[in-house]
Amino acid sequence: MRNYFIYMITNTKYWVLYIWVTNNLERRLYEHKNKIFKWFSSKYNLNKLVYFEEYWEIESAIIREKELKKWRREKKIDLIESKNIFWKDLSENWNY
């Protein structure tokens, strides 16, 4: 069985919240932090993981991702702060 994740990353100024889905959260954060690809996240220096959820089915993860993307910024902030009140980088101690 495979795991899937929806995640939110931001930059040090917290200006932008980026939401996406992946089947390998550690690899994806490595790609963001090292600007491996010229994605939206590279342009805005989005490299701080502030929220994620895990799913067993890709369909469920994609449905949730689409739901979160429709939310207003204030609601996204409330969700982040319900699990990560200080906006700590949840990936800061990961060994890539």
pTM of the entire predicted model: 0.91
Q: Read off φ and ψ for residue 57, nearest 5 degrees.
A: -125, 135
- Domains of the chain, earliest start first: 4-83 (3.40.1440.10)
pLDDT in tens, 42-95: 888 888 999 999 999 999 999 999 999 999 999 999 999 999 999 999 998 887
Q: Report whether pLDDT(39) > 80.
A: no
Q: What is the mean pLDDT of residues 1-26?
A: 92
Q: What is the mean pLDDT of residues 23-40?
A: 89
Closest of 5, 62, 57, 56 to residue 32, by C-alpha: 5
pLDDT of residue 96: 65
